[in-house]
């Protein structure tokens, strides 16, 4: 009770601002205003066919264009720890794919794991939070811990195409104690897809455990000409 009064007094004196554009927010608990969410540009086609590494994926899907607006939101998620923004972004992306039968028919969503060192540094894996929001939208459950990141891979950001591939080629394995998804269809979810290497080699690990079909989903991808 007191907390709630205190919060509403606080929001009059210091109204919550959109973390992206700085405008005063209307809704309670929001971090990004509707106008900013609407600035996110959707890809003309969600099915992606122009990536370098996709041989272990049955289908690759992305929702938004990785542009400045998207980058700003992801930066907030990664470095300011706004988990609720990641959740909402995942939810919104899921809403866009609600009419894709192959997505809805999957049995489980597996977020691409962060290596343990990075997870400790950041406190959470943003792909996992994105997956939870996505899951709330499409009604497919999330499974964490089945797919594991094996070694300390360096950040992909400054690597070339070939280096990116080497960096992730043997990075993933399957946890021994988890249930089996043999013969099943799964969604493998990551924040951004660039060359396809991360999703592809994570998918390879899933296949080695007998997974039948892997639908790679990225929340965004850069537009390539």
Nearest to 197, CA basis, from 165, 166, 175, 174: 165
Per-position DSSP letters for 83-145, written without gaps between them = HHHHHHHHHHHHHHTTT-HHHHT-SEEEEPPPPHHHHHHHSS-HHHHHHHHHHHHH---B--S
Please enumerate in sequence order all residues whose Cβ is within 8 A of that of 168, keeping only pairs 6 or more positions apart, or say none.
153, 156, 197, 198, 201, 202
Instruction: From 28-36, 54-62, 181-189, 192-200, give the range in contact with Zn ion by CB under 5 A.
Output: 28-36
Of the residues 10, 17, 21, 47, which one makes contact with Zn ion according to CB under 5 A:
21
Q: Is 223 in the site for Zn ion (CB under 5 A)?
A: no
Instruction: From 18-26, 56-64, 114-122, 143-151, give the range in contact with Zn ion by CB under 5 A.
Output: 18-26
Between helices 83-96 and 126-138, what is the axis angle to 10°?
A: 40
User: Around Cβ 32, how many Cβ atoms within 10 Å?
Assistant: 22
Of the residues 18, 76, 106, 202, which one makes contact with Zn ion according to CB under 5 A:
18
Of the pair 18, 138, the CB lying nearest Zn ion is at 18
Q: Is 70 in the site for Zn ion (CB under 5 A)?
A: no
Of the pair 74, 188, the CB lying nearest Zn ion is at 74
Per-residue binding letters, 30-69, with Zn ion (x by CB under 5 A): ---x--x---------------------------------
Q: Is 194 in the site for Zn ion (CB under 5 A)?
A: no
Q: Is 19 in the site for Zn ion (CB under 5 A)?
A: no
Q: Is 109 in the site for Zn ion (CB under 5 A)?
A: no
Of the pair 23, 151, the CB lying nearest Zn ion is at 23
Q: Is 73 in the site for Zn ion (CB under 5 A)?
A: no
Residue pair 198/149 in contact (Cβ under 8 Å)? The answer is: no
d(CA 160, CA 198): 13
Residues that bind Zn ion in the complex, under the rule CB under 5 A: 18, 20-21, 33, 36
């Amino acid at each position: 009770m007191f907390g709630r009064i205190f919060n509403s007094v606080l929001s009059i004196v210091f109204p919550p601002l959109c973390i992206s554009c700085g405008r005063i927010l209307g809704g309670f608990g929001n971090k990004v205003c509707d106008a900013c969410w609407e600035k996110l540009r959707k890809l003309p086609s969600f099915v992606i066919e122009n990536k370098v590494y996709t041989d272990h994926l049955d289908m690759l899907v992305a929702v938004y264009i990785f542009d400045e607006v998207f980058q700003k939101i992801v930066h907030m998620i990664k470095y300011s720890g706004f988990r609720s923004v990641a959740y909402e972004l995942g939810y919104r992306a899921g809403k866009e794919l609600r009419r894709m039968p192959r997505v809805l028919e999957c049995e489980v969503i597996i977020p691409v794991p962060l290596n343990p060192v990075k997870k400790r540094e950041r406190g959470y894996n943003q792909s996992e939070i994105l997956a939870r929001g996505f899951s709330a939208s499409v009604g497919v459950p999330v499974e964490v811990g089945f797919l594991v990141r094996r070694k300390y891979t360096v950040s992909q950001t400054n690597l070339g195409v070939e280096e990116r591939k080497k960096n992730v080629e043997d990075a993933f394995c399957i946890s021994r104690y988890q249930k089996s998804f043999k013969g099943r269809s799964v969604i493998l979810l990551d924040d951004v897809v660039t060359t396809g290497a991360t999703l592809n080699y994570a998918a390879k690990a899933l296949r080695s455990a007998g997974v039948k079909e892997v639908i790679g989903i990225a929340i965004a991808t850069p537009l390539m000409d």
